[in-house]
Amino acid sequence: MTESHRHDASAADRRAGVSPRSAGLVLGFGVGGFIDGIVLHQLMGWHHMLSGWYPNDERVNMIGDGLFHLGCLIVVVAGVLMLSRVRPVPIAEIIGWMIAGWGAFNLLEGLIDHQILGVHHVRHGPGELLYDLGFLLSGVVLIALGTFMARVSGARRGYGHEFSKGERHE
């Protein structure tokens, strides 16, 4: 692909609203949901999606978790489709935006599900507010870390989608 063609393609993608930031944020949001569901729901067993509303109904909670994971899968697929339109892919910047997207998931899920709706808490029982606040804080930290990482990477390569000298990507 010639340099001129590469520049024209990335400019068209930006006009279409596809950027490393939007693709990375969407992908990170979905991956963050999977991390939450796999680690906190399944591995640690601290809560299920609907355990605050249906604490003793295992079937309802399993269906709730399944629907949650299906939603995460849809978001991840959307992020991958968006990512496929970013040419060439600036990996460090994408990873930074994915981390920020994971943080956005933690922040939004923590505010909406834990605090506003009370669907569940990070860990029910003694100290549940501290766990919830820690989850919200992790969202803020991930957003800050990911945004910093993405912006540093973006500043190194400039606003365009070209790679630095020495890197070759087809």
At 98-111, the pLDDT tens digits run 999 999 999 999 99
> What's the rounded Cα separation, in Å, for the pair 13 and 18?
5
Token digits of residue 77:
């697929």
Residue 15: inside a domain, yes or no? yes
In the chain, the number of structural domains is: 1
Residue 168 has pLDDT above 80, yes or no: no
At 41-89, the pLDDT tens digits run 999 999 999 999 999 999 999 999 999 999 999 999 999 999 999 878 7
Residue keyed to tokens 């507010």 = 129
Question: Per residue in 39-50, is it b (16+ CB within 10 Å) or e — as a string?
Answer: ebbeeeebbbbb
Instruction: Give the structural domain span for 102.
Output: 3-157
Amino acid at 96: G
> Considering the entire predicted model, what is its pTM?
0.81
Residue 103: inside a domain, yes or no? yes
Residue 167: inside a domain, yes or no? no
> What's the rounded Cα separation, in Å, for the pair 10 and 20?
10
Residue 6's pLDDT is what? Answer: 47
